[in-house]
A = this chain, B = another copy of it.
Amino acid sequence: MTIFGGVSVGYMGKILRVNLSDKSIKIEDLDENLAKNFIGGRGLGVKVIYDEVPPGTHPLSEENKIVVATGPLTGTKAVESGRYCTVTKSPLTGTMHDSHSGGTFGFWLKRSGFDAIIIEGKSDTPVYLLTDNGKAEIKDAGHLWGKTVFEASDALEAEYKPCGIACIGPAGEKLSKIGCIVNEKWRAAGRGGHGAVLGSKKLKAIVSRGDQKPEIKNAAKFDEAVKEARSIISENPVTGQALPDYGTAVLVNILNELGAYPTRNFQTGVFEGAEPTSGEAIAEKILVEKKGCWGCEIQCGRWSKVKNIEAEGPEYETTWSFGADCGVDDLEAIFMSHHLCNEYGLDAIEMGTTIATAMELYQRGYLPEEIKWGDAEAIKDLVEKTGTREGIGDWLAEGSYRLAERFGAPHLFMGVKKQALPAYDPRGVKGHALNYATSNRGGCHLRAYLIAPEVLSLPELIDRFATEGKAQWVIIFQDLFAAVDSAVICKFTTFAIGAPQIADMLAGATGWDITAEDVMKIGERIYTLERAFNAREGFSRKDDYLPKRFLEEPMPEGPSKGHVVPLDEMLDDYYELRGWVDGVPTPEKLKELGL
């Protein structure tokens, strides 16, 4: 069920600036020169946060800002363009941090007349923000504070429908560093604790509605570009078949068969319970129907039913984080854990991996609480405790790194820059390992997705265990993805299309003369500016690390057996190709990119 489709909305040309301290609201013109250099979405947000958030700002302080942004392709008929992103200094990582979500909210924000919202300051009392046909209003949210995502969404929808709603749950309100922003109840800008940033500002929700539609600048060119992209995507085996048929969890069996499916907090890469928790099992056992975001034909989303609960999900990452990573092979239990995360507004990757860390902490005698591998009932209880910050949940709410550190075993944190790794064991995919290490926002599969060439043969198959040449692959993916996140469209399109098609769609929508090379250069500019922000905060090569487990403990079994990650050699290559020294961009590189 595609939710909407077909309406063309490019740039609105308007940025909404909302200060929650003095309750001021300003509407600023989008600077076209800035847009040409950063496109929109992630790029726009990164530029604003770099320029306006001073070094050393605490992520949960009044001085931090958060940008909620769409791009020129958002809500157009361009492929998979129903998304939005939020950019802020993350309370989880302390880095520049962008988080993305699908659904319909991006479409509605654009329709309400704004390309982006810059949220500043901090309210003393709970509020929500309404953007409505070119106007905005800060409204009292006293009645919504303390409510779950579902309760708050239902209440706001009843008042404003049709509209888009992005809100936080109790986790964000309670400043959980793994609290996220959820839109349409089941879609989340999940990672990095952006929900806590809204919570610290006492902003419960953003409601957007309207019917504003700017023109597409070169409609003929745009239509042709979109048509070509759609055709390529529908013919691609991943976007045209695997993802629609089995959802993202189609990867479960694939990664497990390569021995790179992280199991029990990455102690091994082979999970005995993969099959019953795979995308195929979801399709067979609990799937009601496929579901897509606004304007999306891939339809990787799942609408599932377990007992009397119908909900979206689970995705590959949650299937893993609450499954293999915690030693759970019960699909219904995984579905419920995921569902609870949406209710409380918790990042389902970080929640599952944090519980997995707790389980290994218990296994190795660091944690007094008995939390055993595979105990699905305990997991449900722990998610609830995390949402309300009760007992041990008060520490789980801080994420895996801080939990492991609290109990004196930071080496059991499986992540980078305090953000947990997702569902690919780096020992089995060496290029992906380098991407993990050099990610600007911490452990992440969405800065670059080397799984495409290393596993899925897209655009071609490369040796997953080799290290040579991987730095160049990682850089290309990182730069391309930065541009894609700024367009804003879904990264899954890049299984099929690349910079040329994206450039054509952007050229059509904006009227600019923009080439594939420009797209890649813009991506590099954004990635480098993020890196410069992090460097300003003290990050350097020392932070581009992987947990020792991956460097020193060979994979114990399976098809990746014996492998570790020779990180340093790849890192040297990477920095040289990037024009960085010890992880920090040189002044020459910044100048070359006009930064």
* A interface list, Cβ under 8 A from B: 55-56, 58, 60-62, 124, 175, 196, 199-200, 365, 394-395, 398, 405-411, 536-540, 542-543, 545
Contact = CB atoms under 8 A, between A and B. Distances in A.
A406 B538 contact: no
Given A537-B542, A538-B538, A538-B540, 19 more contacts: A55-B542, A56-B545, A58-B405, A58-B410, A60-B408, A60-B409, A61-B409, A124-B365, A175-B406, A175-B408, A196-B408, A199-B408, A200-B408, A394-B394, A394-B395, A398-B406, A536-B542, A538-B542, A538-B543
Most B-side CB within 10 Å, residue of A124, A409, A536, A545:
A409
A542 B394 CA distance: 30
Contacts of A405: 58, 60
Contacts of A410: 58, 60-61
Nearest to A389: B406
A50 to B, nearest CB: 15
Nearest to A411: B61
A61 B536 CA distance: 27
A249 to B, nearest CB: 34
Copies in the assembly, this chain? 2
Nearest to A542: B56
Contacts of A199: 408
A398 B407 CA distance: 11
A88 to B, nearest CB: 14
B394 A175 contact: no
A505 B398 CA distance: 52
Contacts of A61: 408-411
Contacts of A60: 405, 408-410
Contacts of A200: 408
A536 B542 CA distance: 9
Contacts of A537: 542
A399 to B, nearest CB: 12
A262 B62 CA distance: 25
Given A56-B545, A394-B394, A545-B56, A175 B407 contact: yes
A537 B543 CA distance: 10
A442 to B, nearest CB: 15
A199 B409 CA distance: 12
A406 B395 CA distance: 10
Nearest to A200: B408
Contacts of A407: 175
Nearest 6 pairs of A and B residues by beta carbon: A538-B538, A58-B410, A60-B408, A200-B408, A175-B408, A56-B542
8 contacts: A58-B410, A60-B405, A60-B409, A175-B407, A196-B408, A394-B395, A536-B542, A538-B542
Nearest to A540: B538
Nearest to A122: B408
Contacts of A545: 56
Contacts of A58: 405, 410-411
A536 B538 CA distance: 10
A539 B538 contact: yes
A42 to B, nearest CB: 25
A47 to B, nearest CB: 21
Contacts of A538: 538-540, 542-543
A317 to B, nearest CB: 27
A411 B64 CA distance: 12
A124 B408 CA distance: 13
Contacts of A62: 411
A534 to B, nearest CB: 11
Contacts of A55: 542
Nearest to A394: B394
A429 to B, nearest CB: 24
A580 to B, nearest CB: 16
A595 to B, nearest CB: 20
Nearest to A398: B406
A203 to B, nearest CB: 13
A62 B539 CA distance: 24
Contacts of A540: 538
